[in-house]
Amino acid sequence: MQTISAAVELRSVLAEHRNAGRRIGLVPTMGNLHAGHRSLIDIALGQADVVVATVFVNPTQFGPNEDFARYPRTGADDEAMLERAGCHIVFMPTVQTMYPFGSEHGIRIHVPSLAHLLEGAVRPGHFDGVATVVAKLFNLVGPDIAVFGRKDYQQLLVVRALVADLCLAITIIDAPIVRAPNGLALSSRNQYLDDEQRARAGVIHEVLEEMRDRIGGSDEPLSTIEIEAAQRLVHAGLQPDYVTLRRAADLGDPHSGHRHDLVGLIAARLGSVRLIDNLLMPR
Ligand code: PAF
C-alpha cells in the first residue's frame, strides 16, 4: 500500500494506473476507521482494480459548536487497517492541499434540494462542507466508482445529486449499514458510549424495524407511527432530534397513502453522544 499526501504525486501514480486501463475505486473517510469502513473497502475491491482510500478530517463540514480540533485522528491505526484490508493507496492530504485559499475562503458547493433538511437543519452548512470536499476528492482521484455508506443516508443522496448535477462520470455505490449484534449501527461515535449506553442504543434499530412493520401491517397515519416511535425512544432514555418517514428517493414528505419506497430516519442523543440511523422501507 502506498501512503501519499501530495496531490501531484497522487495524480501521477493514478495516471499510470489509468493508462494501463485499470478501474479506480475511491473510499472517502475521515479516518478513525472501524468495521463499517472495512466493508466499504471490501466493496470497492470487488468493483475496481485499484482502491484509493482517503483519510481527511474535513474542517468545512464541522459547525462552530462541533469540535473539529478534537475529532480523533488515528492515522497510524488507519493505515494499518487499510493495509490489512488490501487497499492499494491511502491519500492523507493536509488542509492546505485541500483548501489552498484557506478552509473559510474557498469555493462552497451547495445542494439546495437536500442541504437544509434533517441533518442539515440541525447542522447548518454541514452538507455544503461535505459536497465541497467530496467534489475536490473526485477531482483529485478521478475515480470510476466511489463507495459511500448507507448509514449517512442524507450524505449519500447529497453525493448522488452532486454527481448528477455536475455531470460526473462516477458510479456511486452504496454500502449496507454494518451493525453490532444488538442492531446498533457502527459509528466512530460509539466509542464515546459506555457499555450500558451501547446496549441501550440498540433500541434505535428496534424502533426503525417497528416503524417498518407498522407501515406494512396497518393503515395508521405515518404521523402516528412517527410520534409513537419518538415516544419509545424517550422512554428508553434517548432524546430524539428527529424521527421521520420520508421518500427514500429525495427525503420529501410522503404523500398521504404513500406507504412504499420510504426511509425511516432517526437522530437521537444518548448522554452527550448524538447517534443517527436509518432503515429503507421498500414496501
Ligand atoms: O462520511 C464521511 O466520513 C465524510 O463525511 C466524508 C464523506 C469522508 C467527507 O468528509
Dump pLDDT digits (tens) for 266-281: 999 999 999 999 999 9
55 contacts 91 by C-beta, under 8 angstroms: yes
Residue bearing cell 462542507: 129
pLDDT score, position 220: 93
| Ligand 1 pocket mutation pick from 32, 57, 58 by most atoms within 8 angstroms of CB | 58
Whether residue 39 is predicted with pLDDT greater than 90 in this model: the reply is yes
Question: Which three three-digit cell numbers place residue 19?
Answer: 493508462
| For residues 186-195, average pLDDT | 96
| For residues 36-54, average pLDDT | 98
Return the ligand 1 atom nearest residue 137 CA. 9
The predicted model scores a pTM of 0.97
139 contacts 106 by C-beta, under 8 angstroms: no
Q: How many CB atoms lie within 10 A of CB 12?
A: 11
Q: Ramachandran region of residue 160, left (φ > 0), alpha (ψ -120 to 50) or beta? A: alpha
Q: Is the CB of 30 under 6 A from ligand 1?
A: yes
Whether residue 120 is predicted with pLDDT greater than 90 in this model: the reply is yes
Q: Is the CB of 137 under 6 A from ligand 1?
A: no
Q: Is the CB of 58 under 6 A from ligand 1?
A: yes
pLDDT score, position 283: 75
Looking at every residue in the chain, the average pLDDT score rounds to: 97
Q: How confident is the model at residue 258 (pLDDT cuts 50, 70, 90)?
A: confident
User: Which pLDDT tens digit goes with each residue over 213-247?
Assistant: 999 888 899 999 999 999 999 999 999 999 999 99
95 CA → ligand 1 middle, Å? 14
Q: Is the CB of 133 under 6 A from ligand 1?
A: yes
Active-site residue (options: 17, 34, 37, 126): 37
| For residues 87-99, average pLDDT | 98
Q: How confident is the model at residue 282 (pLDDT cuts 50, 70, 90)?
A: confident
| Rounded Cα–Cα distance for residues 182 and 188 (Å) | 17
Q: How confident is the model at residue 178 (pLDDT cuts 50, 70, 90)?
A: very high
Whether residue 105 lies in the annotated active site? no
| For residues 91-114, average pLDDT | 97
